[in-house]
Structure 1
Amino acid sequence: MARCATQPAWRASAAMLRSSSICPRTWPSAPACLSVPSSTTILTQRRSLFVLPLGLDVGIAGAAAYMFLRLRPPSPDSVKRIFGPDPWSKEGQQQPEALVQCIAHRGAGLDAPENTLEAFKYCVENQCRFVEFDVRMSRDGQLVLLHDKGLARLADCDLSDMSDVSAMDWDMIKDIDVGATHPNRSQFKEVRLCRLDAALDYLLENNVRMIIDVKGDNMEIVTAIVDTFARRPELHKHAAVTCFNPYILYQIRRRDAEIVGCLSYRPACFSAQDYDAESGPTNPRFPDNRPLHWLALLADAAHAALWRVAASGCGVGAVLLHKDIVNSAEIAYWRARSVRVVGWSVNRPLEKLYWRGVMRAPYLANTLVREPAPLSLKEKKSRESSERELSEEKN
């Protein structure tokens, strides 16, 4: 009987050798068997190590790292101080005059030379108390208000050697007329570049709120922006910082969590310089380099899939989105996360009315011409009363 009992055990052990660890142990009470050299039996021990499916362990580790590294969002009061009450809230409906509706993009760059003191003065004169402007760093560490990498678009002269202000000192560019090609150049003559400190002095003095769009991807500009807020604590109540690069925005808010951050986004920002709903992405960034263009397209696909995650990781208080990709569902998505949505650039009067009445969200505008006047509470009640009376007469 021992022979019959042990032979199946040996065969079973051989079959399990490939998937289990073998643990030989002596069993003193095992019956003697002639066909077996000793009374040693083989017991199988199950593996105690639990192995996750391929990729799941990496996903769990990544999610844990994301939750650990993500930044806390700014306080709702800080967001409200800058962007006003939520237009969809009860407070926003009761106080329409307190809503932020139009933000002058680059200081209303179609009406006055963009990113200049002249543009900001034009906004204040036209009762626009919220502006957006771009900041770059020169070689000598000066923060200069400039959207493009170079000056060719703004200046009417041969500036082939001035295609990158980060390679030039402030003294080399401070006297260049950046209003020479503007449509209204007859009204704005001898317009110079503006440094950030000069702009902040004027805007804070006139109680103007602002969005600072950080251009560039070096850590020096991160330090400079954080130091600017440290020197001017009142900026935390008047200014938000935005960037297309979530890493730069993350580093700014990691060093100063009180800064209200905004992430900017539009489709195809890696592969194309322009985008609109009708034409899609146009003016490719790498027209003569096909492999680089395909890499940019892959970057666009990854960016489209991950930018919302990046925005949440940066703890943003608002997102600045291209107007052609914004709809009611997108606004509802971010409202559920207590994040404001700002569209850019909304310039046509009908578009502005649509954003005010239907989207109920602020927008960046390049022009203040024919800007709809803000609706006061008295005017709103009067209009509602007239509409009610008209409806009763029809019935």
Structure 2
Amino acid sequence: MSWPYPLWIAHRGAGKLAPENTLAAFRHGASFGYRAFECDVKLSRDGQPFLLHDATLDRTTDGQGVAGEQTWSALSRLDAGGWHSRAYAGEPLPTLEAIAGYVLRNGFMLNVEIKPTPGTESLTGAVVSRRCAELWATSRIPPVAPPLLTSFRPAALQAALAAQPELPRGLLLDRWPEDGIAQAQALQCAAVVAQYDLLDRSSIEAIHAAGMKALAYTVNDPAEARRLISLGIDGLITDAVDRFSPGPGVHD
């Protein structure tokens, strides 16, 4: 596929400036000019895809316990903003459908990290990919690009490939295994998305030679951003939406 995604991608909506993985965070990131966003999606006990990074609710909501063990009815009543600041108190957990509606209406692009509750990798990959395909296909406004589906869990990406092979995928890496590129190729990935300090000239060139794009997370330091751009990086995922211009260069 041709690569339609911009260089700069806002991490979890607006990094740390607003409660992560909420609609408020997406709006805040957009206020700095960002047009591409990353978010984490998992399933409720009754199969609703919704945004949350952690396996448990404790850090970013007023709930407790494993998020995937609760129904969407219970999850939808939680406060996912008050932990961040009083200004965001009462902000709910959003569904994938709500976030898709926001980005599609605004012509934004989305990187969906499939974040399964442990033990639900294949189910989550299949459900999230199918739901993404349905949401983007039924949009009244033609999307700028399909969502990029990424995951640290190969089983989730394998299920996404089987369910919706037309959606682009990316393998997330927090270490550099010898077979990382081969694994991404086996999953028919369009990209490898690695922790920024794992990437150097040779690794980026190897990813490109394998016919994939190279993306880095989470890039918050201008010197690192400049280094990676000089090496030909294709995407930078950042928390520092207030420090980096989402244009082609680096702003500090």
Once residues 72 and 93 of structure 2 are traced to their aligned partners in structure 1, the CA distance between those partners, rounded to angstroms, is 10
Instruction: State yes or no: 1:247 paired with 2:247.
Output: no
Aligned-CA RMSD value: 2.1
SS at match of 1:338: coil
TM-score by length of 1: 0.57
Cα distance in structure 2, aligned partners of 1:226 and 1:168: 21
Preserved contact between residue 236 and residue 260 of structure 1 (Cα < 8 Å)? no
How far apart, CA to CA, are the structure 1 residues paired with 2:89 and 2:178? 45
Distance 2:143 2:124 in 1: 17
How many percent of aligned residue pairs carry the same amino acid? 24
Structure 1 residue 235: Cα displacement: 6.3
1:353 to partner: Cα distance: 2.9
Question: Pick from 164, 175, 183: which aligns with 1:310?
Answer: 183
The answer to whether 1:171 aligns with 2:73 is yes
Q: Do the aligned residues in 2 keep the contact of 1:345 with 1:366 (CA within 8 Å)?
A: yes
Partner in structure 1 of residue 165 of structure 2: 257
Alpha-carbon offset, residue 177 of structure 1? 1.5
- Per the alignment, residue 222 of structure 1 pairs with 125
Distance 1:354 1:305, change over 3 A: closer
- Distance change >3 Å, CA 263–CA 373, structure 1 → 2: closer
* CA shift in 2, pair 1:221/1:357, >3 Å: same
Measured after TM superposition, the shift of residue 263 of structure 1 is 0.3
- Candidates 204, 221, 242, aligned match of 1:348: 221
Q: 2:146 aligns with which of 225, 238, 242?
A: 238
Contact 2:40–2:114 (8 Å) recurs in 1: yes
TM-score (norm 2): 0.88
Are the aligned partners of 1:327 and 1:359 in contact in 2 as well (CA < 8 Å)? Answer: no
Q: Distance in 2 between matches of 1:358 and 1:307?
A: 19
1:11-50: CA deviations, max 9, x gaps? xxxxxxxxxxxxxxxxxxxxxxxxxxxxxxxxxxxxxxxx
Kindly indicate which of the two structures has a greater share of residues assigned to helix: 1
Q: For 1:312-391, list aligned pairs within 5 A.
A: 312-372=185-245, 374=247
Alignment of 1:99-178 (within 5 A): 100-155=6-61, 157=62, 159=63, 162-178=64-80
Residue-by-residue CA offset, 1:169-222 (whole Å, 9 max, x unaligned): 11212122122222xx14423211000001000111111111110111343323
- 1:96-140 C-alpha deviation (Å, 9 max, x unpaired): xxxx22111111231111011001111222110010000010011
User: Paired residues, what number?
Assistant: 241
- The amino acid that maps onto 2:185 is S
User: 5+ unaligned residues in a row in structure 2: which ranges?
Assistant: none
What secondary structure is seen at the aligned counterpart in 1 of 2:179?
A: helix
Aligned mates of 2:215, 2:133 — CA distance in 1: 26
**Deviation digits for residues 59-103 of structure 1, max 9, x if unmatched?**
xxxxxxxxxxxxxxxxx32xx22x2xxxxxxxxxxxxxxxx2211
Over 3 Å counting, the alpha-carbon distance change for 1:145 and 1:235 in structure 2 is: farther
The separation in 2 between residues aligned to 1:255 and 1:339, in whole angstroms, is 21
* Matches of 1:257 and 1:125, distance apart in 2: 33
Q: Aligned partners of 2:246 and 2:49: how far apart in 1? A: 34
Distance 2:38 2:218 in 1: 11
SS of the residue 2:38 aligns to: strand
Helix, strand or coil for the counterpart of 1:237? coil
CA–CA distance in 1 between the matches of 2:126 and 2:155?
Answer: 13
Task: Find the aligned partners of 1:354 and 1:235 in 2 and give their Cα distance.
Answer: 32
Of structures 1 and 2, the one with the larger relative CO (CA 8 A, separation 6+) is 2
Aligned partner of 1:348: which letter?
D
5 Å matches for 1:58-137? 76-77=1-2, 80-81=3-4, 83=5, 100-137=6-43
Larger radius of gyration: 1
Contact 2:108-2:144 within 8 A present in 1 as well: no
Deviation at 1:373, TM superposition (A): 6.0
| Deviation by residue 1:251-290 (Cα, 9 ceiling, x = unmatched) | 21123221101000112xxxxxxxxxxxxxxxxxxxxxxx
Structure 1 residues 218 and 337, CA, compared in 2 at 3 Å: closer, same or farther?
Answer: closer
Match of 1:209 in 2: 109
